[in-house]
Structure 1
């Protein structure tokens, strides 16, 4: 398969500009909605209190913080529904599930429960698209804009790239949607593979 982005590099954005741009365009999203592909297996999220607790090895505190965010999550997806669009996410999960993903899937499960539908695919299901490089971390808003998250070597978000070529955005959106359609709904996956795991241990 050719490079999913077809050689496009987009416009590099510093985080402050990216956050403002994304916020504005997210809440103006039209059909086919918001579609996100998450491929990388490990990130660091130092801005999130629940990740900080997780990184310190305090699993129960991390879960408590996630649970405390439930009202905000409900309000967020109520607002999405009022704006009249949907959010869909594909998460690639390789086995065995590493501690970071065990943590992230707790949050994704809550998203899934309130309208942010998540489907799981495994590494084998994307292998044919990764002969040259892993799939990028991308998300589309309607058919007008797409972002690619750019991470440093430690897995911390350092910048983003914005793409506005409508043909590219539409093609990538359909690619994510196709993966979504073959993916497993998060809830049964979580019950079988995540809920049974012991609390993760940090190395």
Structure 2
């Protein structure tokens, strides 16, 4: 991988938002975007998704049920994709993956493939391809070129709000960095077909 350097990102530079404030702030700012793309960088290998019946099925080891419940969200994702097209705003996601895949990540990649089929632009970057000294990377969303959220999680992977940054220089630097990773990544469809589709279903999660 060509030499890349992640911009600095310090919590004291931004405004800490709890989970509900982050969700509200994100929705309000996202609704105003016209003609600008957004970018997301995901690095953690395990999240505790909240209020997701499909995620709950995965915990129980009900793989068929988890995939069926994911598929039930397709209509909603297609509507989001159409709205993004009308606004001239596309959502790009870079997903860093470690191998062997966790059961969670195997499930998430099914979700990301479907998101891509509905209009989201998703690329995969294997962790082993990251340059020495680049990792670990934070969880970051750059929304419409104006707002950066450093997304926070508890040690067990539960969403815990975000730190919001609005400094144009910082936002622009992270947008450029995530864009560089995106261009170096592989489209989720081809990566999924090779690395995920042949895998056996994961088992139930244990404490």
Task: Give the match's secondary structure for 1:4.
Answer: coil
Q: Which stretch shows the higher mean deviation, 89-98 or 27-36? A: 27-36
Query: Are 2:126 and 1:122 aligned?
Result: yes
Task: Give the match's secondary structure for 1:128.
Answer: coil
Q: Choose which of 51, 65, 82 in structure 2 pairs with 1:61.
A: 65
The CA deviation at 1:28 is 1.8
The CA distance in 2 between the partners of 1:173 and 1:31, in whole Å, is: 15
- After superposition, residues 1-203 of structure 1 pair within 5 angstroms as 4-9=7-12, 10-130=14-134, 134-201=136-203, 202-203=205-206
Q: Give the TM-score taking structure 2 as reference length.
A: 0.91
The CA distance in 2 between the partners of 1:199 and 1:177, in whole Å, is: 32
The CA distance in 2 between the partners of 1:116 and 1:129, in whole Å, is: 29
Kept in 2: contact 1:36–1:90 (CA 8 A)? yes
Matched residue count: 201
The CA distance in 1 between the partners of 2:160 and 2:193, in whole Å, is: 33
Deviations 1:68-88 (A, max 9, x none): 111111111111111111110
Q: Give the TM-score taking structure 1 as reference length.
A: 0.93
Tell me: CA distance 1:78–1:188, structure 2 relative to 1, closer, same or farther (3 Å): same
Kept in 2: contact 1:27–1:83 (CA 8 A)? no
Question: Can you give the 5+ residue segments of structure 2 that lack an aligned partner in the other structure?
Answer: none
Q: List 4+ stretches of structure 1 deviating above 6 A.
A: none
